[in-house]
């Protein structure tokens, strides 16, 4: 039993860790397009089409929606994708906004130049086919299927591409960052996807999207409460790369404030500093609390916490139609910007020593045992509340007060 619990810890600690885009620094990827299933927090299983990274040595082979975050080495401008297609329909890849020449594929029906795929096609159940994208410009881009987009994109064939001119820079030295996060907005209509999944193998299958009505709304493929946190540490400038692969417009909104290091400390509202859109750098940044993330849009926005002196756990949510799971709230496009003090975990969810997602008496006992056996884990057990914000950053000392705080939390007394 103990071994099982310990085994859980690393896996379930993942939600507590900052989201960093899993990516290969190389410019050659092997991707596989295949069917998969996404399960929503309410248990609904939805058929999807996604991309798996099967790059030898670095890919994990798991079919993902959205697909893996792709990138090239800083300064590199060529991306090669060896694409294998395990779906019953032809696919292709386009990267809107990148000035890359396209090689459209036409219907072979003698009726003239009707385009079937905007770019080089990989026929059904075939591959790999080498796709080369050169002359890449820096910025944040969507890669998506260029075939029957009205069907294939809602099914899940999309992902993010990040191109950096130099390490730690978005476009130039003025847009340097300490930390970066990718947040991809997307949506799912379960009825539409079920129909496409069931019928796609039938030759000549088509389905109108006239009744397209998304019920699930995702950030990086997850709906709240499964959304991963965005890390924007105190003292750092964080670049948030926002993308929208859906067909509705969303409005990412941040709420909250921190105390800054000016004396006397002044509160500062969390505000996005929008530096670029669609891979194009603005001549001057715009300051906004709510961003217009239209369908197909990408935005590069900074959360500048370089003068912050207090930690935070700030809501980031869509203010339009995307913050529910099939009508049930809280859900959908809701996550939190986690701003920790250096070297500390200040999340209000802290105290879950067992890593099972809920604080119970068992966690208090684990903390007590940790004290006694000298196996105290500060990142999950050191929960002394920060004086200004009340967040459980901890005081760096393993002591009985931590155990008592976790105990009070387990009884719903909300000490932090």
User: Where along the sequence are the contacts to another protein (CB under 8 A)?
Assistant: 15, 41, 213-215, 224-225, 249, 251, 253-257, 266-269, 271, 284, 286-290, 292, 312-315, 317, 319-321, 323-324, 326-330, 336, 348-352, 357-360, 389-391, 409-410, 412, 414
Q: Where are any strands of DSSP class E within 86-178? A: 93-94, 105-106, 115-117, 126-133, 139-145, 158-163
**What is the rounded CA–CA span in Å between residue 223 and residue 334?**
7
CB 40 within 8 A of CB 216: yes
**What is the rounded CA–CA span in Å between residue 205 and residue 116?**
14
Residue whose CB is less far from another protein, 106 or 287: 287
Residue whose CB is less far from another protein, 88 or 315: 315
Residue whose CB is less far from another protein, 103 or 269: 269
Q: How far is the CB of 242 from another protein (least distance, A)?
A: 14
DSSP H or E stretch at residue 336 = strand 334-339
DSSP H or E stretch at residue 315 = strand 312-318
DSSP summary character for residue 139:
E
CB 173 within 8 A of CB 81: no
Tokens coding 167:
């390490």
Give the HSE-up count for residue 161: Cα atoms under 13 Å, Cβ half-sphere.
29
Q: How far is the CB of 151 from another protein (least distance, A)?
A: 21
Q: How far is the CB of 332 from another protein (least distance, A)?
A: 9
Residue whose CB is less far from another protein, 3 or 414: 414
The residue among 111, 110, 170, 130 whose CA lies nearest residue 299 is: 170
Say if strands 312-318 and 334-339 run parallel, antiparallel, or are unpaired: antiparallel
Q: How far is the CB of 24 from another protein (least distance, A)?
A: 30
Q: How far is the CB of 288 from another protein (least distance, A)?
A: 5
Q: How far is the CB of 337 from another protein (least distance, A)?
A: 10
Residue whose CB is less far from another protein, 29 or 317: 317
């Amino acid at each position: 039993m103990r071994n099982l619990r310990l085994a859980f810890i690393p896996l379930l600690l993942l939600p507590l860790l900052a989201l960093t885009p899993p990516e290969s620094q190389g410019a050659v990827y092997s991707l596989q397009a295949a069917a998969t299933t996404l399960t929503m927090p309410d248990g609904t299983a939805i058929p999807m089409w996604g991309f798996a990274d099967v790059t030898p040595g670095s890919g994990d082979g798991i079919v993902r929606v959205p697909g893996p975050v792709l990138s090239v080495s800083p300064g590199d401008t060529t991306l090669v994708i060896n694409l294998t297609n395990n779906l019953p329909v032809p696919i292709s890849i386009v990267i809107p906004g990148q000035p890359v020449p396209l090689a459209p594929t036409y219907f072979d029906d003698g009726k003239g130049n009707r385009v079937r795929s905007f770019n080089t096609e990989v026929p059904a159940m075939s591959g790999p086919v080498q796709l080369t994208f050169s002359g890449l410009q820096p910025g944040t881009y969507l890669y998506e299927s260029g075939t029957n987009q009205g069907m294939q994109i809602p099914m899940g064939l999309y992902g993010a591409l990040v191109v950096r001119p130099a390490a730690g820079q978005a476009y130039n030295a003025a847009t340097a960052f300490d930390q970066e996060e990718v947040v991809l907005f997307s949506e799912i209509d379960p009825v539409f996807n079920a129909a496409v999944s069931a019928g796609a193998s039938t030759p000549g299958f088509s389905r109108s999207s006239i009744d397209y009505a998304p019920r699930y709304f995702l950030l990086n493929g997850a709906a709240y409460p499964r959304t991963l946190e965005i890390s924007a540490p105190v003292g750092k400038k964080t670049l948030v790369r926002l993308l929208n692969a859906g067909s509705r417009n969303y409005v990412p909104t941040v709420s909250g404030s921190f105390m800054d290091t000016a004396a006397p400390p002044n509160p500062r509202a969390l505000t996005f500093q929008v530096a670029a859109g669609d891979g194009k750098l603005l001549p001057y940044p715009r300051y906004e609390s709510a961003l217009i993330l239209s369908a197909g849009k990408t935005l590069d926005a900074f959360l500048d916490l370089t003068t912050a002196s207090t930690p935070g756990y700030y809501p980031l949510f869509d203010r339009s139609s995307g913050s529910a799971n099939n009508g049930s709230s809280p859900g959908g496009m809701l996550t939190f910007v986690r701003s920790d003090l250096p070297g500390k975990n200040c999340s209000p969810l802290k105290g879950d020593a067992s890593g099972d997602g809920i604080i119970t008496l068992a966690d208090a006992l684990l903390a007590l045992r940790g004290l006694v056996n000298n196996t105290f884990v500060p990142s999950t057990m050191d929960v002394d509340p920060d004086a200004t914000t009340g967040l459980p950053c901890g005081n760096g000392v393993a002591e009985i007060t931590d155990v008592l705080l976790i105990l009070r939390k387990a009884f719903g007394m909300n000490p932090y």
